[in-house]
Amino acid sequence: MAKRTKRPKGAARARRVKSPRRQSKPASSGRAPSRKTRLQYVALNEEIRSANEELSTANAQPKEVDERERMHSDLLNLLTSSNIAIVFLDTDLRVKLFTPPTTELLNLVGTDVGRPFRDLARKFDDPDLLARCREVLVTLAPNDREVTAESGRHYLRRIVPYRTGENHITGVVITFVDITEQIEKEAQALHLVAVVQQSNDAIVLYDLDGRILSMSRGAKRLYGYDETDTHTLTVFGLTPPEHRAEIRRLFEAAARGEDPPPFEMKRVAKDGRVLDVQMTLTTVQSEAGEPTAIIATTEHDVTEHRRTQHESRQLNEELERRITERTRQLAERESLLRAVVDAAADGIIAIDESGTIRSFNPAAARMFGNSAAEAIDRRFEAFLAEPINTGRESFSARALAAQAQSHGGALEAVGRRRDGSLFPIELAARPVEGDDLFTVVIRDISLRKELEASVQKIAVEQRNQLARELHDGLGAEMAGLGMLAQALRNRLRRVSPEDAEKATELTRYLEKCRGQLRRITQGLMPIEIPDSGLNAALRELCRGLYQLYGVKCVFRTTSRVRFKGPVATHLFHIAREAIINAIRHGKPSAVRIRLAPARQAIRLSVEDDGTGVVRAPKFTAGSGIRIMQYRAKTIGAALEILPRKKNGTAVVCTLPWDRKPVPASRRVPRGRTAQRSPSHARSK
């Protein structure tokens, strides 16, 4: 029998060989064929029959090949269109076939078919993949695992054995199904469930038939049920019978996809209490917009709310009555305060933090010559000759109030009238409680300044007169007594040495009295500041005090400002009075005078190492302190008397750097403009 051969694809089908019996018999010679010849015919017929069978088989094979090729193409198209990463491995774990999406997880190209799977670089975390493949080849049981790719997407990796049509295992199939969206939805669902269960609000989940699926913590606390009770509860069991038809209608509307507006409904708790609750039904819909089996209900107990509403109405009525009464009282008080402010002799101005004027009383209008309409909304500094130094770059009403408080409640400044004339004023500033405004009380101190100047002039004249009388009268008498005592001593030396010694002692005593009289006279006489300025005068003061009292006095200065005129005179007298007070009351061994610049000011300090003071004295304690205070106010300075840390006393006079006070001698009457000259100037 001839060996069967597979016909190549596309070859023409072989034609069947005709049997010899159908062929024309050869011409016989008139005699029957021999036995051998018949056997040969039989063998030939068998061969022809076998050839025909083989031709029939060969003609049928192309149909099977075409069917397999079509099935293979359909399978490849199916795998490719499924967008699923699939890898076929043989029993040696070599790549047999893979789908295009596999390249997102494995570095595969078309030439990698037949390559060992272990040589391929993976883009996901699955270190036991090869071991699991071998395990599936042995156990024939599928193996699943969730893996995460480098891109952050999640896949379900499954390994199953590869079975042939004859149920032979020829390898494994690895599939990667993208489950990223599923995991995200599960996470969202878990988060939603956790929020519902842990919420303090009363949130209840129902199905479309009203059965309770889950209750939040707030709902369990509101109704008194626990987790075991929720499996048998329904929305109708929580509703009184007279309201069940209404809740059924609302649930049916929600099941049709309608979201009814919030409504109030009565609820029955586990202990039988009837609660008034506000409910909001929300239909949970699928991605296609169809209602699902779950309806979420958020419920709020409004029983207490209704009671509080009633109480609130009563409280509001009482509050309105009280507000009306309080408004009436405030109106009366405002009228009274307005009358007081309008009748006040001092100017009263209300300003905000930035210094903008908000109110202007009639006294202020008379004082500055501006009406209230002209002054309101203007800057307060426009009514001053010079800006007040508050320690800030821009004007601050709060800083002004603090500075006035530190100066005993009031500050002295120079005002400017509408016609440009200047006049001295005293102002005090305080914040208004409960408002962002500040009240500034202004007083015209022109008359007081004139009286102070007159008193000072009279005091100076009286001191000069007293000094002249002491010098010309008592001084001359004591000089004569000294001469008589000296003559008596000279005469007694010849008569009685003992009496001469007493006369000598009398002469010394008279000289001592004359020295004290000279010191008193010098203190009473006016002191002229030399042309060299205050610094030279203070140095001379130190030398004179050392000669008179024997107390060491040192003067130091780091200021470049040369003071002359009234400011220098007042500063000199303040220093002199402070030193004399220290010598009289503190018994110091040394006194130090220091003149130095401070923060936007010049500071004169007199410190001693005497017994000191326990605390800062009041300015009304003695005439010396009052005189120093008066002189400091005259030049617009601040005076402080403080105990030193170790021992002694410190007298500090702080003069603002840019402050230029108007001396009393240069005051002008109303209606005229003062020509101001600086009382001190910077040295070049």
Per the confidence metrics, is the pTM higher than 0.85?
no
Residue 389 to residue 656: CA distance in whole angstroms: 8
Question: b or e along 186-198 (b: 16 or more beta carbons within 10 Å of the residue's beta carbon)?
Answer: eeeeeeeeeebbe
Helices (H) and strands (E) in the chain, counts: 15, 22
- Residue count (the chain): 684
The H-or-E segment that residue 250 falls in is: helix 244-255
Residue 655: its pLDDT value, please?
87
Contact 224, 206 (CB under 8 A): no
**Element at 654 (helix H, strand E):** strand 649-656
* Cβ pair 424, 415 in contact under 8 A: yes
Which residue from 520, 594, 581 is spatially nearest to 555, judged by alpha carbons? 594
Closest CA to 544 of 575, 570, 513: 575
**264 Cβ neighbours under 8 A, 6+ residues apart:** 276, 277, 278, 279, 302
- Distant-in-sequence contacts of 101-106, Cβ < 8 A, 24+ apart: 101/176, 102/176, 104/149, 104/151, 105/149, 105/155, 105/176
Q: CB of 612 within 8 A of CB of 643?
A: yes
Q: How far apart are CA 389 and CA 395, in angstroms?
A: 8
3-state secondary structure of 338: helix
Is the separation of the CB atoms in 662 and 674 below 8 Å? Answer: yes
Look at residue 252 in the predicted model and tell me its pLDDT: 84
Asked if 428 and 407 touch (Cβ cutoff 8 Å), the reply is: no
Specify the 3-state DSSP secondary structure of 281: strand
**Token pair recorded at residue 541:** 């003061």
CA distance 36 to 528: 179
Determine the straight-line distance between the first and last CA of the chain, rounded to whole angstroms.
139
SS3 51: helix
Q: From 1.20.1050.10, 3.20.20.70, 1.10.10.60, 3.30.565.10, which CATH number describes the 529-684 domain?
A: 3.30.565.10
Amino acid symbol at 235: V
Kindly report the CATH class assigned to 344-444. Answer: alpha beta
Q: Which two tokens stand for residue 353?
A: 């933090």
HEC-encoded secondary structure of 514-566 = HHHHHHHHHHHCCCCCCCCCHHHHHHHHHHHHHHHHCCEEEEEECCCEEECHH
Q: How far apart are CA 517 and CA 479, in angstroms?
A: 11
DSSP codes joined into one string, 128-164: THHHHHHHHHHH---EEEEEEBTTS-EEEEEEEEEE-
Q: Sign of the C-alpha dihedral, residues 505, 511, 515, 516?
A: positive
State how far the Cα of 657 lies from the Cα of 386, in Å rounded to an integer. 12
Q: What distances in angstroms separate CA 520 from CA 273, 461, 516, one per listed residue?
A: 102, 16, 6
CATH 3.30.565.10 residue window(s) in the chain: 529-684
Give the integer Cα–Cα distance in Å for 127 and 148.
12
- 184-301 under CATH 3.30.450.20, yes or no: yes
Which distant-in-sequence residues (6+ apart) come within 8 Å of 642 by Cβ?
A: 616, 649, 650, 652
Place of tokens 């500040």: 438
The residue with tokens 């076929």 is 88
Q: Which CATH class is domain 83-177?
A: alpha beta
Q: Is 478 exposed, middle or buried (0-12, 13-18, 19+ CB in 10 A)?
A: middle
Measured between alpha carbons, how far is residue 287 from residues 185, 209, 404 in Å?
A: 12, 21, 74
Tens of pLDDT, residue by residue over 294-308, are 565 655 666 666 777
Q: How far is CA 391 from the centre of its chain?
A: 27
Phi (first) and psi of residue 59, to 5 degrees: -70, -30
| Distance between CA atoms of residues 651 and 603, nearest Å | 10
Mean pLDDT, 10 residues at a time, the chain of 684 residues: 42 45 46 68 76 69 64 66 82 87 83 86 88 90 90 90 82 90 78 69 79 81 81 85 88 80 83 83 70 59 71 86 87 82 86 89 90 90 80 74 75 88 89 85 87 78 77 77 81 81 83 76 65 79 80 85 78 87 85 86 89 56 72 83 86 74 40 36 32
Question: Which residues in the chain are classed under CATH 3.30.450.20?
Answer: 83-177, 184-301, 344-444
Angle at 208 between CA 207 and CA 211, to 5 degrees: 45
Give the whole-angstrom CA distance, residue 673 versus residue 385.
11
**Cross-strand bridge partners of residue 124:** 149
Strands (E) located in 379-476: 411-416, 422-431, 437-444
